[in-house]
Amino acid sequence: MTLDQYRDLADRLLGPFVAAADRLGLTPDGVSVVAFGFAVAAGGAFYLGTPVWYFLGAAFVFLNGCLDLVDGALARAQGVDSDGGDLLDHVLDRYADIAMLVGLAAGIDAYGLGLAAVTGVLMTSYLGTQIQAVGLGRAYGGLVGRADRLAIIGLVALVSAATLALPALPVRALGLTVVGWLLVFFAVVGHLTALQRFRGAWRDLS
């Protein structure tokens, strides 16, 4: 079960923000670019790795997730949803994932774990779009979807800020910080989610 299944509910809750963006004359593509900017800012904050920057990084992740929902809803509200906009949104989402994970890995000097996490996340997303390409519809299911990843990243960033700011809290477990364990989680669960999506699609095509 993933948070992605609640996209319709989220779209309804974001209605006032979509209306505000429309009144301001924003375009869906412009919102997508701003959302990507927040993802890059989150990656930079995670790289700096201080309590304040981890806290700000969590806020940037939250803004990226909200705007990632607003752009699609705004496109539908304005009647300008298109394949081009969908392509831009997906490309920026993937680069956003990379920026945040690379920032997390660089902040703790764990590039091997970062590579494993990035490949797991990208394969999860790739299977979602590839399943759509063979005519089965966009796949959001699996162990962890993008909405889940953003929520977990934001939570871990807050925990990291707390562990660094409060000396009494443990910083490492089995040699890894909470960020290190997050990267392990994304590496393992990302590939498992990709395989889960592949298995479901293969069954549907058989």
Give the pLDDT confidence of 174-186 residue by residue, as tens digits. Answer: 788 999 999 999 9
Distance, CA of 17 to CA of 166 (rounded, Å): 36
Q: 133 pLDDT band (50/70/90 cuts)?
A: confident
Encoded tokens for 60: 């940037």
Domains of the chain: 3-205 (1.20.120.1760)
pLDDT for residue 2:
60
DSSP 172: E
Residue pLDDT, tens place only, 15-55: 777 777 777 777 888 889 999 999 999 999 999 999 999 99
Q: 119 pLDDT band (50/70/90 cuts)?
A: very high
pLDDT for residue 201:
86
pTM: 0.85
The SS3 call for residue 14 is coil
Q: Which helix (H) or strand (E) element contains residue 176?
A: strand 176-177
